[in-house]
Amino acid sequence: MKQEDIAINGDSAIALAWKQINPDVVAAYPITPQTIIVEKYSEYVADGHVSTEFVCVESEHSALTLCTTSSSAGARTFTATASQGLAFMWEMLPIAASMRVPLVMAVANRAVSGPIDIHNDHGDVMSARDCGWISLFSENVQEAYDLSIMATRIAEHHSVQLPVLVNLDGFILTHAIERITPLDEKDVRKFVGEFKPLHPLLDVKHPVSHNLMDGPMFYFPHKYQMVVAMHHVPKVAQDVFNDFEKISGRKYKIVEEYKCDDAEYIAIVLGSTFGTMKEAVDQLRKEGKKVGVAMPRMFRPWPIAELAKLMKGKKAVIVMDKHLSIGSYGPMFPEVVAAALENESMPKMYNYIYGLGGADTMVSDFISVFRDVEKGKAKRINYLGVKE
Amino acid sequence: MVNLANYKDFIVGDRVIEAGNSERFHTGDWRGQIPYLDKDKCINCLSCWIYCPDDSIMTENGKIKGLKMTHCKGCGICAKVCPKNAITMKGE
Amino acid sequence: MTAVTLQELNKIPVRLASGHRLCAGCTESVIAKQILMGTEKNVVVSAATGCLQVSTTLFPYTSWKTPYIHTAFGNAAATCAGVETAYKALKRQGKVKEDVKFVTFAGDGGTYDIGLQALSGAAERGHNMLYVCLNNEAYMNTGIQRSSATGIGASTTTSWAGDVAYGKKEFPKDMTRIMAAHGIPYAAQAAPHAWKDMIQKAQRAFETEGPTFINAITPCPRGWRFATEESISISRLAVETCIWPLYEVENGINYNLSPESQRIADGKAEKKPVTEWINSQGRFSHLKGDKWKSVVESMQAELDKKWESLLKLCKL
Amino acid sequence: MVTANEILAETAIHAGKYVKAFPEFGPERMGAPIRAFARISGNPIRVHTQVYEPDIVIVIDPSLIGKVDVGKGLKENGTIIANYRGSSFELQDAIGTNAECHAVDATKISVEEIGRPMVNTSMLGALVKIRPIIEYKEIEDHMKAKFEGKLKEKVILQNVAALKRAYEEVK
């Protein structure tokens, strides 16, 4: 059934997707700019729109703990956080992943303290990148909504069984009203289906012990088991994307491309910047510049094959990082370079660090990035907007 | 090269579905001393049973059947709590 | 409440299997078994990182014959609360048919220190679960470091007794009363030698709706430095010296002494001096001479004060 | 102001347009001066940055005029609509701009119609008169629908009256 378009901000769109799925358990702790998600969901609970057990915990550490064991117990479980909240959850991130719980967490991406700054960058999620979670990125509110629905299917797939982060840029998407086309609730329920947990704790007739202590002989193989699960993700995700297209008409790919086919210079970005970058690309194309932009739909697993294919034969690749590993590159840059190793020849590679702590980056800034690279004025690492 | 376990032998995640399988792991060889039960003195009060940390007091129909040595770590609690001194600890 | 006799208890299948790797003479498994005898319903066990956890679930072995889960150190209450929340959701939908009870075990480190926030949060939210603190008065799993449950004067590996120090300088936190102050329906102190009292308290806790708390003194031969066979008698001594009075609190208000402590209050049993406690364990050996006499005196004074205050709460 | 921005966005989407409307990013503090942005277009909106070169600037708080450069970045054919007691020429003068300016005494209108200086709805009325990006009727209908059941009918009608008066009175 075709739904009427609605005006909704990113956080509320996440809450709407959750409401339509009606998970068994939601536990969360409020933090800017994720707050609206929990407030809105609390409203759905109060008005009886969902039958979810909704728990307002006393901290993010407990939020993720509660969600992890709830999922282990056999309940479909969602949560959301940002910044310091994700940092406070950090201890539980790799535990949730190694316990193979298919829970879904929205992250309203925000800079990590200090100094304290509530605005958007990718410092929170990038600092959590090695924890074994699948990490999906959205360009706009529609995608944040769509990915929240698709994430459930990806996480719960029996060949995956890993938790998923759904990232949306703090304020830029969380607090911005955009036009989206929601799905019919019945279609959403049918799409996500029933949660079929593996060896749930609450199957008391078959008592199972979850999360034992490993010695060196078992730890590494258990980690390798997760590696194998991650390898399954691109195929599973693309299948889920394709199924989703059937009910929504919206296409999703492992790596999203914009005018990359004949481009000589391409930028690789994450999140809402993909949209702004498209505008920059269009303006440069009017001048006849062969430029393009791409966004990996997921940072974990890192889509090596798709990116290698994308970079083949390009003159230069510009990696735009909204986070900085201080003392090294932006977190995405070495990953892009490593993916390029799959090809016989390497394009020129540049790293731009931009937008930290919410420093707004305009279309004209992105245009100047392409110009500087074309003119050979770019350094290996460039700090956009900082006077060096 | 170290010989690690094969990941394919595990179920998904760090889980064990065979409840109580640690019974196959024998802690009996940790023992420094061994308890001996004098059945004639035993009044089947079950004190040793309720206090044994390693579930090594075998019972049947509420009576002491004997001591199971596969897991007994030789702590001596059973001997100490026995009101009739029916259990004594001796070097192995 | 059903009558508790060893003959009856002996019929209940034991839910903690042998083959666990707790030290010889450790009372943690004794307490865990006693607590689980408090219900014949299905129980999900959770645990904080600690001795019980590492010893009972070393991959690929588990000693638990009942569903068991562990996540981390400082979140035992949240670990249990998550399963309990899932149970509520799935039970309501008919996806789980059985009645299930929830219990979590955590040491004093995981309860008094790093896990306090999660525990307080879970207590305030009213999860239907029993939280058992296995209080062996220090971080035993990592090698006897002091915690806020460690008694004054105890020598630990982070509060050594030395030429100028008498061991841990501070009196322990009164965790049971902190939990009672949450207004939870049931909180109690127990000790493993008093098995009947322990099991009755567990029964009471399992039958109570809402969060319940049992703080169990957990003698540790290795950390307290006494012979392994003494575990049960040391537990008894903790009660006899009033180091560890046995009592229960309903709804944060109604304090009642349990039989063994009641006998002391009634003058029917002797209140033993703290020196007997000190003399029974190697961790206090430096307090035996005259050098730290004043410390021993202050220990006795504090104990007496605490005991009097408890009697007042019990309206005695 | 955030609510006004919401109503504007919702009405525009209802009218088949694409929108990106958002408050200035930052913590919410009652009474502190803030900005809100809206992009409205017939095509999907891709640019996610704040608005630096607006077509229209709406000044809700008259005390900012003369203190803050409200016309900063305004496009060549841009328009300023302000809650201002004087004439449009006086407004132009007070701001110190050659840009097209329109004044409406939204404070007076809202006090008289709503009983409180809640100027949001009045400013929306003025906006759709000067720049009919959406039709007046659409915004009135949407406002009624949005607040139905949430606000008392009397309050809704008061707001509609303020919307209408500002629509008529803006100079």
Between CA C261 and CA B16 the distance in angstroms is 42
- Kindly tell me if the per-residue pLDDT of A1 is higher than 60: no
Tell me the shortest Cα–Cα distance from B82 to chain C, in angstroms: 11
Using an 8 Å CB-CB cutoff, list chain A residues near C75. Answer: 61-62, 65, 92
Q: Does the beta carbon of A326 lie under 8 angstroms from any beta carbon of chain B?
A: no
Contact A213 C64 (CB under 8 A): no
DSSP A239-289: HHHHHHHHHH-----SEEEES-TT-SEEEE--TTHHHHHHHHHHHHHHTT-
Looking at chain C, how many residues does it have?
316
Is C16 part of any domain? no
How near does any CA of chain D get to the CA of A82, in Å?
15
Q: Which of A209, A216, A221 faces B7 most closely, judged by CB atoms? A: A221
C-alpha to C-alpha distance for B8 and A364, rounded to whole angstroms: 53
Calculate helix-pair angle for A141-156, A216-248, nearest 10 degrees. 130
Answer whether D20 sits within 8 Å of A178, measured CB to CB: yes
Per cent of chain A over pLDDT 90 is: 98
Q: Kindly report, residue by residue over A41-95, the tens digit of the pLDDT.
A: 999 999 999 999 999 999 999 999 999 999 999 999 999 999 999 999 999 999 9
Measure CB to CB from residue A65 to each of C44, C71, C87 and give the nearest one: C71
> What pLDDT is attached to residue A4?
86
User: How far apart are the CA of B82 and the nearest CA of chain A, in angstroms?
Assistant: 35
How high is the pLDDT of residue C261? Answer: 98
In chain D, residues with a C-beta closer than 8 Å to the C-beta of A5 are: 13
Put simply, whether B4 touches A (Cβ < 8 Å) is: yes
Q: Where are the alpha helices (DSSP H) in chain A?
A: 10-21, 35-46, 60-73, 83-89, 92-98, 123-126, 141-156, 185-192, 216-248, 273-286, 304-311, 332-340, 363-374
Nearest to B17 among A199, A224, A225 (CB): A199
Q: Is residue D60 a contact partner of residue D70, using CB atoms and an 8 Å limit?
A: no
Task: Report CB contact under 8 Å: C65, B81.
Answer: no
Is A75 within 8 Å of C86 when comparing Cβ atoms?
yes
> Taking a C-beta distance cutoff of 8 angstroms, is the pair D48, A364 a contact?
no
- D103 contacts D84 by C-beta, under 8 angstroms: yes
Do the beta carbons of residue A17 and residue A45 sit within 8 Å? no
Q: Which two tokens stand for residue C205?
A: 């806790």
Q: Which ipTM value was assigned to this complex?
A: 0.94
Q: Best mutation site among A160, A199, A211, A226 for testing chain B: the one with the most B CBs within 10 Å?
A: A199
Q: Compute the average pLDDT of residues C197-205.
A: 98
Which chain A residues are closer than 8 Å to D12 by Cβ? 7
For residue D31, the model assigns a pLDDT of: 66
- The neighbours of chain A, by the rule of 3 or more Cβ pairs under 8 Å, are B, C, D
Pick from C287, C191, C281: which is nearest to C240 by CA? C191
With an 8 Å Cβ cutoff, are A71 and C86 in contact?
yes
Q: Are C70 and A212 an interchain contact pair (Cβ–Cβ within 8 Å)?
A: yes
Could you give the number of structural domains in chain C? 1
- Any CB–CB contact under 8 A between A225 and chain C? no
- What average pLDDT score do residues C186-210 get? 98
Percentage of chain B lying above the pLDDT 70 cut: 98
Distance (Å) from the alpha carbon of C58 to chain A's nearest alpha carbon: 5
Minimal Cα–Cα distance from C46 to chain B, Å?
Answer: 14
pLDDT tens per residue across span A143-182: 999 999 999 999 999 999 999 999 999 999 999 999 999 9
Chain C partners within 8 Å of A91 (Cβ): 72, 74
The pLDDT assigned to B75 comes to 97
Give the range of the structural domain holding residue C45, as residue numbers without chain letter: 24-313
- Considering chain A, what is the average pLDDT of its residues? 97
Question: C1 versus D58: which is more confidently predicted?
Answer: D58
Q: Transcribe C232-280 into DSSP letters.
A: HHHHHHHHHTTSS--EEEETTTEEEE-HHHHHHHTTSS----HHHHHHT
A175-202 pLDDT, tens digit each: 999 999 999 999 999 999 999 999 999 9
A255-383 and A6-248 share a CATH fold: yes
D5 vs A152, which has greater pLDDT?
A152
Closest Cα of chain B to A197: distance in Å?
11
Interface contact flag, C33 B55, Cβ < 8 Å: yes
CATH fold of D2-169 reads Pyruvate-ferredoxin Oxidoreductase; domain 3 (3.40.920)
- The pLDDT-based confidence of A3 (bands split at 50, 70, 90) is low
3-state secondary structure of D119: coil
Interface test with D, best of A39, A109, A178 (most D CBs within 10 A): A178
CB contact under 8 A, B17 and A208: yes
Inter-chain residue contact D47 with A361, CB threshold 8 Å: no
Of chain C, the percentage scoring pLDDT greater than 70 comes to 99
All residues of chain C having their beta carbon less than 8 Å from the beta carbon of residue A213 are 53-54, 57-59
Tell me which residue of A94, A232, A68, A101 sits closest to A160, measured CA to CA: A232
CA distances (Å), origin D99, targets A237, A272, D63, D74? 52, 33, 19, 8
* Contact indicator for A243, A110 with CB cutoff of 8 Å: no
C91: Cβ–Cβ under 8 A, 6 or more apart, which residues? C100
Q: What is the pLDDT of residue C197?
A: 98
User: Are the C-beta atoms of residues D104 and D84 closer than 8 Å to each other?
Assistant: yes
Q: Which residues 87-106 in chain A show a CB within 8 A of chain C? A: 91-92, 95, 99
Under 8 Å between Cβ of A353 and A324: yes
CB distance A275–D48 less than 8 Å?
A: yes
**């996806």: which residue's tokens?**
C95
**Nearest CB to D25; choose among A7, A179, A358:** A358
Instruction: Render pLDDT for D22-65 as a digit per residue (tens, 0 to 9).
Output: 988 666 666 667 889 999 999 999 999 999 999 999 999 999 99
**Structure confidence at residue C2 (pLDDT):** 60
pLDDT the model gives residue D29: 65
Q: Mean pLDDT in chain D? A: 91
Q: Which of B10, B14, B16, B21 to mutate to test the interface with A (most CBs of A within 10 A)?
A: B14
- Average pLDDT rounded to a whole number, residues C206-214: 98
Domain A255-383 - what CATH class? alpha beta
Cβ of A70 and C86 within 8 Å? yes
Query: Rounded to a whole number, what is the distance in Å from the CA of A209 to chain B's nearest CA?
Result: 5
User: Domain coordinates of chain A in residue numbers?
Assistant: 6-248, 255-383
CB atoms near residue A47 (< 10 Å): 8
pLDDT reported for residue D1:
62
Q: Which of C178, C166, C256 is nearest to C213 (CA)?
A: C178
Give the residue-averaged pLDDT of A210-216: 95
The answer to whether A61 contacts chain C (CB < 8 Å) is yes
Token look-up 């792991």 returns: B25
Nearest chain D residue to A363, by CA: D47
First-last CA distance in chain C? 25
**Chain D and chain C touch, per 3+ beta carbon pairs within 8 A:** no
| Distant-in-sequence, close-in-space partners of A381: CB < 8 Å, separation ≥ 6 | A329, A330, A333, A351, A352, A353
B66 touches chain C (CB under 8 A): no
CATH of domain A6-248: 3.40.50.970
Alpha-carbon gap: B21 to the closest alpha carbon of chain C (Å): 6
Q: Identify the structural domains of chain B with CATH numbers, from first to last.
A: 34-92 (3.30.70.20)
